[in-house]
Structure 1
Amino acid sequence: MAPVDPSSDATVVETDAVVIGAGPVGLWQVFQCGLLGLRCHVVDVLPEVGGQCIELYADKLLYDIPGLPPTCGRDFAAQLQQQVQPFEPVFHLGCQVTALTRQADGRFDLSTSGCSQVLRCRHVFIAAGVGAFLPRKLTLAGLDRYAPASVTYHQLPTDGVSGRHVVIVGGEDAALQMAVDLASGSDGRSDNDRPASVTLLHRRDQFSSDDGILLARFDLLRRSGLLQVCIGQPVEPVESDGPGGPVLAGLRIAPPEGDEFTLPLDRLIVCLGLSPRLGPIADWGLVMERKQLTVDTARFETSVPGIHAVGDVVTYPGKRKLIACGFHEAILAAFAAAERDRGGPVPLEYTTSSKTLQGRLGVRDSVTNAS
């Protein structure tokens, strides 16, 4: 396991457990830990809760969630998030766990990118699905030197877009939505914080979306001239001299036909989709099989005691990559962690009758079912 960077600026925050991954199984892990009295912090590289439900099928229906009618991914994630609220988990979104080490007392320290805190806990639950969803990069030599001031991925630059010429790269929903919001002013920005122009750059004049309303808004803005569209492949960045040194001034574009040209810009936002990668977890010394973590199926514990893994990130005989299976795994992992804390078995209680569980859930008035 890689050591935590001993930065003097890092603040140590203590909690019972850290859940890596804020998808459905990660959220259910938080719920099960909460029922057993374990406080959780949750880390996810995405800027919002929901994992694959949000990134891959936000508007598609899930038909196989027990007890729920067909529910879209976005609504399902929202319901799970509401369900964990009584336990007040702390979310660290837009962060990736970069290092993990075990202390002499058996606790773990985890440090993350984009966060100065070190999370110290007794239990780690890896619910990373198929891996952290990281933005696909625009592979142009020298482009990264302009990030994050002039180049960002799936988000606005840190200093905003007021009066700037903004170019968005991509042709799917995320790129279309950002272009429409910026060009139309429907993202809640004031008139004083509007871009000077918005251009969508894509390799061809075809755009992929199942959202008919989004496509209609895009076409209307394009016809009105509020949204420009540039067709071609970027081949190299173009820079100019700025007050503090070279700045990104444009992209050299190779169109489908004709000569190359320069597309001027002040801010570049790359929306080329997300790619799952296991990331630093692969370097923690955990036993793996075909890029998945092996676990003891009685406790869903990895080869390192105290580190559990659930969901699509694990493998074992008979494993099925289904949300319902991940929920079962999270329950056993939570009980195993609680038993480790208490040094023995944890009695099974039911939310219908247990005053302890109802108290943790914030239930004030117990409802007795008629027999």
Structure 2
Amino acid sequence: MSDSRIETDVVIVGAGPVGLFAVFELGMLGLRAQLVDSLAGLGGQCQALYPEKPIYDIPGYPKILAGELIERLAEQAAPFQPGYHLEQRVETVQPTEAGRWRVVSSAGTEIDCGAVIVAAGVGAFGPNRPPLDGLYDYEGQGPGAGVHYLVSRREDFRDKRLVIAGGGDSALDWTLSLSDLAAKIYVVHRRDKFRAAPESVREMRRLADDPASPVELVVPYQLHGLSGEAGRLSGVDVATLEGEVRRLEADALLPFFGLSMNLGPIAEWGLDLERGSLKVDPAACETSTPGIYAIGDIASYPGKLKLILSGFSEAALAAHAIYARLNPDTPLHWEHSTTKGVPGFGA
């Protein structure tokens, strides 16, 4: 092995919530981990797309912001000293003569490991952009931009006139979340039926019927055009299917039409795929290639639930399976964390 090559027990592809929790589960079994992620920071979609969005189904937290959850998971992983390789993606995973794996990233990082865990969520992702002329002129970062595909800071939209387009959970979740900050929120959808959670739909309609609320339901309309000067948005045109056009005075457009997803190089690794996900054995989360595991949203098996808490369980299953693979002659004498303790926290 060359001096520049890193040696570890497990490489985790993806530093989202499930990948971070896998560091903890591996560490509790005495296994070291290195993480590789294409984003500039930890947290995957939770941090990149909705850090200030509340999550309600994390055990022990009746409500926790997505960004705060990532902070807690990174803190939980820290005692096991994981290595983070950010803003690079795994290009190749090749078996070595020693029965191990050599992982090479787009930045040229080479890591030798005994097993690989793919925790890449939906893979590489980006927004589905609406087909509007001049759209790119209004895109950008920060509160001055006119078109936003995510909400990093709710405060950026205080006292703004907003057009939120879409009929799914993201559109309605942010309508509800921003309704106490924005001066006006136009909810634009091509029909009066929404795909979001029923409770969200009921609350959105309640706000739309309240004269004191800033929320106005604009249906059945779809986005038609943008207006403004020097990259600063001043209005959004919407139109019915019959061609009736209405202009909405607005400071920002938030189109939530889902994400375009791409597995990238993972699709070329020879693993069995099922509708863009990796098929795994649910007992161990091992893929069709022994020594490569998948957990979180990218893993597929009968009865799979795409929930963060399911990914946490899969991280534990994969960690125990990997321990048995790397230590075939050393039975695991499992101890609960309450007995064993965690480095830096005592028993």
The TM-score range, normalised by the shorter chain, is 0.5 to 0.7
Residue pair 2:49, 2:152 contacting (<8 A) in 1 also: no
Match status 1:279 vs 2:264: yes
Shift of 1:173: 4.4
Q: 1:337 to 1:172 in 2, by over 3 A?
A: closer
CA distance in 2, matches of 1:155, 1:334: 38
Match status 1:328 vs 2:313: yes
Residue pair 2:50, 2:152 contacting (<8 A) in 1 also: no
- TM-score, normalised to structure 2's length? 0.65
Return the match for 2:37 from 35, 41, 44.
44
Aligned to 2:148: 171
CA offsets 1:156-211 (integer angstroms, 9 cap, x no match): 9xxxxxxxxxx96733446999x99xxxxxxxxxxxxxxxxxxxxxxxx9577655
Matches within 5 A, 1:217-236: 228-229=232-233
Match status 1:307 vs 2:300: no
Shift of 1:228: 4.2
CA distance in 1, matches of 2:66, 2:326: 35
- TM-score, normalised to structure 1's length? 0.61
CA distance in 2, matches of 1:133, 1:81: 22
Residue pair 2:52, 2:153 contacting (<8 A) in 1 also: no
Return the match for 1:91 from 64, 84, 90.
84
Aligned to 1:116: 108
Aligned to 1:126: 118
Match status 1:60 vs 2:47: no
Q: 1:303 to 1:68 in 2, by over 3 A?
A: same
Shift of 1:58: 2.1
Q: 1:126 to 1:155 in 2, by over 3 A?
A: farther
Aligned to 1:242: none
Aligned to 1:249: none
Amino acid at match of 1:46: L
CA distance in 2, matches of 1:211, 1:48: 25
Shift of 1:69: 2.1
Match status 1:346 vs 2:339: no
Match status 1:297 vs 2:282: yes
Q: 1:346 to 1:68 in 2, by over 3 A?
A: same
Secondary structure of the residue aligned to 1:361 is coil
Secondary structure of the residue aligned to 1:346 is coil
Number of residue-to-residue matches in the alignment: 275
Stretches of structure 1 that go unaligned for 5 or more consecutive residues are: 1-7, 140-152, 157-166, 181-204, 217-224, 233-255, 257-270, 367-371
RMSD: 4.3
Secondary structure of the residue aligned to 1:91 is strand
Q: 1:228 to 1:321 in 2, by over 3 A?
A: closer
Percent identity for Structure 1 against Structure 2: 41
